[in-house]
């Protein structure tokens, strides 16, 4: 077992097969996240063949502990290396006294509403952003929107950043359509424009049957 495999085991859990895990970045349902075996002159890296995430143990720690800086991650790596060298391959816990790491989307969301972790999260939000109760309500709405958006991404196998880009395009496109409809006076304009102007949709165009030309005998 390489050190990166050990780190993956500590953070993600036991592998699904060999050196393959369920990807924590895209939450892939299969063992698309794998660790490259050690090779001469090549650093050991992980890669997900579903979302193209790749990196080393520092990148994994940055994902699982986003509030820690580089020096804190370096200290954590040093402690994990010491346990790895000592042969301590038991699964660790995420933080002192906390429960083993689990994908939050695999749990009932109601379990997290009044948990100790939720108390810590709200406290951290208040400290970092000096948030008021009104701000917390706004954040709650945004998080609900984000949760629904991530569920849609998972259901349709969409990358969240790609889906965000499409939403930005749709917002720009609809804003441009609203500006167009405010100035449009063409009664034959498209149905999207007519709908914004309160006009009924255009009647469907009659289908024209295509007639095959009559060929005379002997013509090819």
Q: What ranges do the domains of the chain cover?
A: 3-101, 106-196
- What string of pLDDT tens digits covers the 220 residues of the chain? 788 888 888 888 888 777 788 888 887 656 678 888 777 777 888 888 877 788 889 888 888 888 888 888 889 899 888 888 877 655 443 333 333 444 555 556 677 777 777 777 777 777 766 767 677 777 777 777 877 787 787 777 778 778 888 888 888 888 888 888 888 888 777 778 888 888 888 887 776 665 666 666 665 5
The verdict on domain 3-101 having CATH code 3.90.580 is yes
- The number of angstroms, rounded, from the C-alpha of 206 to the middle of its chain's C-alpha atoms is 45
Rounded Cα distance between 15 and 36, Å, is 14
Supply 204's token pair: 């469907």
Q: Tokens 């001469």, residue?
A: 40
Helices (H), the chain: 3-11, 57-64, 70-85, 116-129, 133-155, 160-183, 191-196
Rounded Cα distance between 177 and 171, Å, is 10
């Amino acid at each position: 077992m390489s050190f990166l495999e050990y780190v993956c085991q500590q953070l993600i859990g036991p592998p699904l097969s060999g050196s393959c895990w369920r990807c924590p970045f895209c939450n892939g349902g299969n063992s698309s996240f794998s660790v490259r075996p050690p090779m001469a002159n090549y650093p050991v890296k992980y890669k997900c063949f579903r979302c193209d995430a790749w990196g080393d143990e520092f990148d994994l720690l940055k994902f699982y502990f986003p509030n820690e800086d580089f020096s804190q991650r370096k200290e954590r790596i040093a402690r994990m290396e010491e346990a790895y060298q000592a042969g301590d391959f038991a699964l660790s816990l995420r933080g002192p006294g906390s429960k083993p790491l689990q994908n939050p989307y695999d749990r009932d969301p109601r379990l997290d509403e009044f948990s100790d972790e939720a108390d810590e999260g709200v406290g951290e939000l208040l400290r970092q952003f000096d948030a008021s109760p009104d701000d917390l309500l706004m954040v709650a709405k945004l998080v609900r929107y984000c949760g629904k958006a991530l569920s849609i991404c998972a259901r349709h196998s969409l990358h969240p950043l790609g889906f965000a880009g499409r939403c930005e395009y749709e917002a720009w496109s609809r804003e441009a359509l609203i500006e167009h409809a405010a100035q449009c006076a063409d009664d034959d304009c498209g149905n999207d424009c007519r709908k914004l102007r309160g006009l009924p949709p255009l009647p469907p165009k009659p289908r024209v049957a295509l007639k095959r030309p009559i060929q005379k005998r002997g013509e090819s």
